[in-house]
Structure 1
Amino acid sequence: MSRSARLLQLLHAMRTLAGPVTAARLAEETGVSIRSLYRDIDALRSAGAQIEGERGYGYRLVEDPALPPQMFDQDEIEVLALSLAEVRAWGDPALARAADSVLAKIAATLPSVRERQLLHAIAQVFRPEPRYLSPLDLAPLRSACWQEEAIDIHYVDGDGATSERTILPLALFYTETCVTALSWCCLRQDFRMFRTDRMTEIHPNGTSFRPRRVPLLRDYLAQLEQRRGAKVDEG
């Protein structure tokens, strides 16, 4: 790893770990010796990073030169805090970690007053149980959407019937009760919604459908909007 990449990794560790962070913990995060860690801290300070702390006490990133200052009003701060808290309550470990990382990065760019408001927001989310429960890790499904790669799934429908499908995943749709994959079903040759809590297996099969995802998703959303409009007219 180059030194510049290591310094960026050190900045990220100081953004995301609760301060003050000991030199030993930072050295472990970046894979260097304690002596090298001290040199890296000095290099970041020379580059303009405001880092509080000293050897034997721990370090805290006060101002991060790698991120531009952000200006949010108090209500916008509450929106950010509430939104990220909701993501953490979904029950998806990967997105929960990402939400913590986003919170730390945003906090690092704020003036001290706004930073305290973000980290100690008045708007809170409490869910005694995760909102979305899935027997599978959804990270491969999200990756398949971004990579525009077909996946093979084992699926159990509402009547308990099982099937194997090859689908082109277009987007994940978060409803009140479940996460649904908006997809093109290769078996039915039509758009379909597949609830992720009814998927028992997910296997990317290496078949690319790039660059079809965006136009397919646009067509599917247009169909859904037409159906919604028809129901309103009927009412």
Structure 2
Amino acid sequence: MQLMQLLRRHRRPVSGWELAGEMAVSLRTLYRDIASLKAQGAEIDGEPGYGYVMKPGFVLPPLMFSSVEVEALMLGMRWVADRGDPVLAAGARDAAARIAAVLPRALRRELETSALLVGTSLRKSAPTATIEPMRAAIRGGLKMKLTYRDKQGAISHRVIWPFAVVYFEEARVLAAWCELRGDFRNFRADLIVQLEPLEERQPKPKNVLLDAWRQMLKTSGLTILPESDSLPF
């Protein structure tokens, strides 16, 4: 499991020596574990002296997590169940139940009795009624028609290409390309007057827009996102 997760974090071939070092095992043990994963169906390309990379899509049954991973999952799902819109909150509760159903008894007990809790927010979060249509449009790669009231009360009508929803403690922010401004714009959910998905698809994939937006934020020195995104996807 540790080797599989390590290979998933590397999108380019990584040497056997580096893998063995990160796992604190001998090179001989590493080669044996790679052979074991291959025997179970993992598509691992590479050879000694070249490096190894695993093609995506392989899942090693049965589903298994470490104690720390269980705590991280439970904390995240509790946060979403408490802070998310009704659809996302229900998804978090369903995911928790599904994960608990397949865990071994000891880990299931850790999941159900996790002591990492989500406290009451000191700030009132923004209304979330419009969040699910945003997420649906992002998943489908669709444009949206937006009526927006800024902090000064001015109303504008726009066509946007939504590609991300940013969850702050005090607000939810929709990141999109705005056809009216010809640039990226961030819209607070609680200031959106009306939101309507269109049947027209966005000209660019959301991952392209997201990467360009991240680069724009970095270049501008804005702090809308954390310093580092350490997730491998």
TM-score range, shorter chain: 0.5 to 0.7
Q: Name which of 184, 195, 199 aligns with 1:202.
A: 195
Q: Name which of 55, 70, 80 aligns with 1:87.
A: 80
Identity %: 32
The corresponding residue for 2:5 is none
Q: Name which of 178, 190, 214 aligns with 1:185.
A: 178
Q: Is the 8 A contact 1:150 1:209 kept in 2?
A: yes
Deviations 1:205-234 (A, max 9, x none): 21111543222221111010111289xxxx
Inter-partner Cα distance in structure 2 for 1:172 and 1:229: 16
Q: Is the 8 A contact 1:91 1:131 kept in 2?
A: no
The corresponding residue for 1:105 is 98
**C-alpha spacing 1:206/1:129, structure 2 compared with 1 (3 Å):** farther
2:164 matches 1:168: no
The corresponding residue for 2:142 is 149
The corresponding residue for 1:224 is 217
SS of equivalent to 2:200: strand
Deviations 1:59-86 (A, max 9, x none): xxxxxxxx94222222221111111000
**Shift of residue 120 of structure 1?**
1.8
Inter-partner Cα distance in structure 2 for 1:158 and 1:184: 20
Whichever residue aligns with residue 200 of structure 1, its letter is V
Q: Is the 8 A contact 1:135 1:200 kept in 2?
A: no
**C-alpha spacing 1:187/1:210, structure 2 compared with 1 (3 Å):** closer
Q: Is the 8 A contact 2:126 2:170 kept in 1?
A: no
SS of equivalent to 1:89: helix
Whichever residue aligns with residue 121 of structure 1, its letter is S
Inter-partner Cα distance in structure 1 for 2:128 and 2:115: 33
**C-alpha spacing 1:214/1:73, structure 2 compared with 1 (3 Å):** closer
2:224 matches 1:214: no
Equivalenced residue count is 164
| Ranges in structure 1 where 5+ consecutive residues have no aligned partner | 1-66, 231-235
- TM-score normalised according to structure 1 size: 0.64
Deviations 1:166-219 (A, max 9, x none): 111011112232111111001111111111111121101211115432222211
Q: Name which of 73, 77, 80 aligns with 2:70.
A: 77
Q: Is the 8 A contact 1:90 1:130 kept in 2?
A: no
Inter-partner Cα distance in structure 1 for 2:103 and 2:131: 32
